[in-house]
Structure 1
Amino acid sequence: MANPTRWQTETGPEHSQWYIDRFRRLAAEGADLAGEARLVDALVAPGSRILDAGCGTGRVGAALAARGHTVVGVDADPALVEAARTDHPGPRWLVADLSELDLAAAGEPEPFDAAVVAGNVLAFVAPGTEREVLRRVAAHLRPDGVLAVGFGTDRGYPLTGFDADAVAAGLRLEHRFATWDLRPWRDDADFAVTVLRRPAD
C-alpha cells in the first residue's frame, strides 16, 4: 500500500472493531442495510458480476449475492474483510488498496458488469488518490458497465472534484440523487449518489 488511507490515519486502532460490531448489531436488530444493493440490482441484469469496492464488512455485497449476483468485494482493512468472510460466506472478499487495484493479479481477470462504492469510501481513501481509485475501478468494468458511488458532500471531497476525476477516469455521468432510494438531487443535499457508466466506444 503506497499511501496510508484516511481510514488508517484519521481513526484509532479500535475503530475497525467498533465498525464491525456496529453493523453486526444493526443486522441483529433488523435494520435495513440493503438500500445500496437495491439500487445496484435495479441497474443490472440478473446474475451480473459486481465489484463491491471498499466493501467494509460486506453488507452491500452480501445483499447483492442474495439477489443472485456474483460478487467480489475489496477493502484495504484486513479486519473488515475478515468480518465479511465470517459473516457473509459466498462472495469472494479480498484485501487490497483501491488505488492499486489489480484483480487480474488476484485471480479475477473477468470484467465486471457493475461496481458499487458505498459507505463514504471515497472520503476514506488516501488523500489525492481519488482519481486513481476511480480509474482503477473503471478499468475493471466491461464496456457499458455501470458504477454507483455514494458519499457525504461534507466529507472534504467536493462534487466538482469528483466529477472532474470521474471524467478523467473515462466515466460518463448519467444520474445523481440525494439518497440511495432516489430522492431528487438538490444543490444543498448533504449526500450524493452518482451513477456513472464506462462508455461502450
Structure 2
Amino acid sequence: MSRWEELTGGTSGEDYAARFAALAGSGKDMHGEARFCAALVPPGARVLDAGCGTGRVMIRLAELGYDCVGIDLDASMLAVARGQAPELPWLQADLSEFDPAGLGVAANFDLVVAAGNIFPLLAPGTEATVISRLAAALRPGGLMAAGFGLDEAHLPVPPSITLAQYDAYCTAAGLTLVNRFATWDAHPYDGSGYAVSVHRG
C-alpha cells in the first residue's frame, strides 16, 4: 500500500479539490507548476502528469495547448479530474506498474511532471521502479520535473526519500540532472526542505 493510501484511504478527492478551490478563491496562485512546465517545453508538447490527482496542473497545461495524459491510482481523485475535464485522458494505474503500451499510450513524452509530493507518498521500496518506468515513457532528450518535500515541515508523512537517493535512482534510469530549484517559481535551490528537480533522458 502506498503512503498516500495509508494517509487518505483513497477517498479524499472531493476534499482535496475543495481545499485547492478555497486557496484559489482567496487569491492564491494555483498555476506555478503549469508555468514551470510551460517554460521547459513549448505548447503542443506531450506531457505526462504522473500522479495527476484531481487534475489541477494538467487541466491548466491543456488550456495552454499541451497534449496531456494524466495517471493516478486514486479513483476518488480521478473522479474529480474527469468531472472537471471529461475530454482529457485520465488513466487509473499504479505508477510502479506503469506500462504506456498496456494503457494504449505512446511512450514518447516530451515531459513527465510529478508534482504534489508524488515520490514521498509512494509505496515504500517502489521509488526506483517508478522513476525507471517514468523515464522509459520519455522520448530521447525528454525531461522529467519532480517537486517534493524533504522534511516534516513540507510533507504530510515522515520524510522517506532524500535528494541523493532520488538522483541516484534517476541516474540508474538513464536520467541526468539539468537543474534544481527551491520552488515551482524557479527560485534557486538553497538546501531547503522542498526541491524541484529537472532531469533529462
Find 1:112's aligned residue among 106, 109, 114.
109
What's the CA shift for 1:29? 4.4
Kindly provide the amino acid, as one letter, of the partner of residue 194 in structure 2. F
Can you list the C-alpha shifts for 1:156-179, whole angstroms capped at 9, x where unaligned? 211111111111111100000111
Q: Are 2:166 and 1:162 equivalent residues in the alignment?
A: yes
Is 1:193 the counterpart of 2:190? The answer is no
Checking the alignment, whether the CA contact within 8 Å between 2:13 and 2:76 is kept in structure 1 is yes
Say which SS state the counterpart of residue 8 (structure 2) adopts: coil
Partner of 1:98: 95
The ranges of structure 1 where at least 4 consecutive aligned residues each deviate by more than 4 angstroms after the TM superposition are none
Counterpart mapping for 1:34-183 below 5 A? 34-154=31-151, 155-183=159-187
Q: Structure 1: how far apart are the matches of 2:198 and 2:47? A: 14
Q: CA deviation at 1:13?
A: 5.7
Q: CA RMSD in A?
A: 1.5
Bigger mean CA deviation after superposition, 89-98 or 46-55: 89-98
Report the secondary structure of 2:71's partner residue: strand
- Structure 1 counterpart of 2:144, which letter? L
CA distance in 2, matches of 1:134, 1:14: 25
Gaps of 5+ in 1: none
Q: How many residues align?
A: 194
Contact 1:147–1:196 under 8 Å retained in 2: yes
Identical columns (%) = 48
3-state DSSP of counterpart to 2:198: strand
Structure 2: distance between partners of 1:32 and 1:55: 18
The Cα of 1:34 is off from its aligned counterpart by 1.0
**Partner Cα distance (2:100, 2:23) in 1:** 31
Distance in structure 1 (CA, Å) of the matches to 2:79 and 2:165: 32
Structure 1 CA distance for aligned equivalents of residues 11 and 105 of structure 2: 32
Q: After alignment, is 54-63 or 23-32 more displaced? A: 23-32
- Give 2:169's aligned amino acid: D
Cα distance in 1, alignment partners of residues 127 and 99 from structure 2: 16
Alpha carbons 2:181, 2:195 under 8 Å: kept: yes
Residues 105 and 14 (structure 1 numbering): CA distance in 2 closer, same or farther, change over 3 Å? Answer: closer
Deviates more, 1:101-110 or 1:167-176: 101-110
Residue pair 2:33, 2:184 contacting (<8 A) in 1 also: yes
